[in-house]
Amino acid sequence: MTHESTAVGLASAYSNATTASGDWWRDAVIYQVYVRSFADSDGDGIGDLRGVRSRLPHLARLGVDAVWLTPFYVSPQADGGYDVADYRAVDPLFGDLADADELVRAAHELGLRVIVDVVPNHTSEQHPWFRAALAGEPGARERYLFRRGRGADGSLPPNDWESIFGGPAWTRVADGEWYLHLFAPEQPDLDWTHPEVTAEFDSVLRFWLDLGVDGFRIDVAHGMVKADGLPDIGRGAQATLIGAEPLPFFDQDGVHEIHRSWRRLLDSYEGARIGVAEAWAPSSERLALYVRPDELHQAFNFRFLNCPWDPAAMRTVIDESLSATTAVGAPTTWVLSNHDVVRHVTRYGGGPRGLARARAAAMLMLSLPGSAYLYQGEELGLPEVSDLPPASRQDPAFRRGRRQQIPAPAGAPAPGPGPAAPGIIAPRPGEPPTRPGAGIGNGPEADAGPAPEQPLAPQAHAPTQPQAGASTGPAPEAQGQTGPEAEAGIGPQARACCGPEAETGAGAGPDLLTAPEAEGQDGLRDGCRVPIPWAGAEPPYGFGPAGSWLPQPPEWAGLSVAAQTGDPHSTLELYRAALELRRAMPGLGAPGAGPSPDPSGMRWLPSPDGVLLFTRPGFACTLNTRPEPVELPAPGRPVLSSAPVETDGHTVRLPPDSCTWWAF
């Protein structure tokens, strides 16, 4: 018989013991909402909190346990809200505090927990603390990493550190000092040795916990502490080293005391509030340090995301990940896509083959012990949008070569004369210095040359004009996705943000630098942030009453929630079925569920080349990575498959690039 890719009705109750005990996070499926691109309630083309609230029933029906919201705080939006000017207020672009409160309450009524981002490594340059630092307020610069420059006149950066977005990690201000920004110049790094910084973030966390959120995703959780003396690295292309080699600005041992203090704070609240680390570390063992019993609850497992479509590599990553986290008593997390990487449909080759692999990879991920993260739109099988018009792009790394003036504090002396540092334009007489990585705006005005002086207070943002028209991305071959990299599922933009394999010097055109000056992120992250389709035959597909801040492809009409609902072969119904079965089958979800000598409850079994086969209590999973069918003894009764499987009850013919779940 042929088993179609629909769920068999398993009516058993949700039997996961960890949920009953309150450790919901150990096997939770958490859905990432990129607020700008989820749902727009007011017609300005930008997603907002009311829009998110209106679409919560979709997430409840999908079957996830929690929602993670990207930053919605007051921000100039130089980096999609990861440049925060006020951590306790909602940016008018997204609503207000009442909207945040109502969203949390509505989510809880639907049985969904809410996790929000916190951004502790850096603030916005428009944060009151940094404005005070530029204005020369006594002691204000001690909250940040200001240093004198090198060279006789201080005209060279204090060290050789590079920004993740390309160019130097230092910007010189009007009085000649330099400040550190590991990301955009609009994101100055905080100095976490200063007691006011520690106290401020304790207060920020309490503010949102008191509002009712269930936890925090901690942005750059590995970055708050820098090595003593800020030593040189001695080589370039530093973004490519992150997560692969020790670096003096990331994964320093001192970050763990911060996370221990936050764990104590989280534990002081009722309801199992959690902390999730976005952390890059050179090894699984180093990453596991972030989830020791007295630190955070989870850490993103980017090694799984970066793994190619290769069964040996997948098994290695799975084994090493489980081993490292089991050693410290923590669950492993699994993720395939997020707001910083190319969507995995495209990474796995694009087109029908990429979609088949993406569906299979999702089923593999959801069958592994631990917690899984879904990125909005992956349940629809959305591909990357690779041909966005340059004028619509807003990723700060895209225009990392632009130059923009820095406003000088009133009465501040001009810096002394001297040669320009790498990536810095020497000022003309009477003008303030300029900095790299600027010209980052909300639309075409970013190309308009130097910006006027920036105000010294956060502003409400005028609505961004929706982009008219849309076009679909080229075929994988047109994107350069041929040969071994395409076969491995690694496209030209497939590297994770800040990850060990970050692309360098990518892109072309007058707004982009070329390597080695601009070695950092490729600046093309907007392609995974295009607003998702809900319903309708043309853009914006129910995203909102008007257009969308990034153009949506015309082919997305068939990928909308409405178009896929009820179709047993759709990716949406596959995800819904997988999440329903994950709750229903005792052997799925939490580590240690059911009797097994392996703490993960998972065992690998012999299988043909190109096939992975493992069991958990009462459950088996087969993954065929080969481009042709494979026959093997049936490990049980098929309950869900990413593609139709043929079985007579004794043998099974696994389709190419497919995953099948079995009960026994």
Looking up tokens 């009712």 gives 212
Chain centroid to CA 478: 26
* The pair of three-digit structure tokens given for residue 424, joined into one six-digit string: 């810095």
Q: What is the DSSP letter of 450?
A: S
Q: Could you give the C-alpha distances from 489 to 51, 485, 625, in angstroms and in order?
A: 34, 6, 11
Q: Point out which residues pair with 662 in neighbouring strands.
A: 620, 638
Round to whole Å and give the CA distance between 603 and 597.
9
Helix (H, G, I), strand (E, B) or coil at 652: strand
Other beta carbons within 10 angstroms of residue 265's beta carbon come to 16
Contacts 24+ apart (CB under 8 A), 270-273: 271/214, 272/22, 272/23, 272/24, 272/25, 272/214, 273/209, 273/213, 273/214, 273/215
Residue pair 295/325 in contact (Cβ under 8 Å)? The answer is no
Residues 6 or more apart whose Cβ sits within 8 Å of residue 116: 68, 69, 71, 72, 208, 213, 215, 216, 217
Round to whole Å and give the CA distance between 179 and 449.
23
Round to whole Å and give the CA distance between 360 and 220.
30
Round to whole Å and give the CA distance between 83 and 91.
12
Residues 6 or more apart whose Cβ sits within 8 Å of residue 583: 14, 16, 63, 589
Round to whole Å and give the CA distance between 456 and 453.
9
Active-site pick, 83, 177, 219, 395: 219
Round to whole Å and give the CA distance between 423 and 90.
34
Q: Which amino acid is at 16?
A: N
> What is the helix (H) or strand (E) element at residue 118, kind and residue range?
strand 113-118
Active-site pick, 278, 378, 379, 519: 278
> What is the helix (H) or strand (E) element at residue 180, kind and residue range?
strand 178-180
Round to whole Å and give the CA distance between 112 and 104.
9
> What is the helix (H) or strand (E) element at residue 581, kind and residue range?
helix 571-584
Round to whole Å and give the CA distance between 387 and 398.
13
CA-based torsion, 451, 77, 377, 296: positive or negative: positive
Looking up tokens 């130089």 gives 78
Q: Point out which residues pair with 217 in neighbouring strands.
A: 117, 276
Report cis status (omega within 30 of 0) of the bond before 433. no
* The pair of three-digit structure tokens given for residue 38, joined into one six-digit string: 């989820």
Round to whole Å and give the CA distance between 141 and 130.
7
CA angle 43, 49, 55 (to 5 degrees): 85
Helix (H, G, I), strand (E, B) or coil at 324: helix
Q: Read out DSSP for 452-467? A: PPPPSS--PPPPPPPP
Could you confirm whether 219 is annotated as catalytic?
yes
Residue pair 267/302 in contact (Cβ under 8 Å)? The answer is no
Residue pair 388/550 in contact (Cβ under 8 Å)? The answer is yes
Residue pair 217/338 in contact (Cβ under 8 Å)? The answer is no
Residue pair 80/36 in contact (Cβ under 8 Å)? The answer is yes
Cα distance from N-terminal residue to C-terminal residue, the chain: 18
Residues annotated as part of the active site:
219, 278
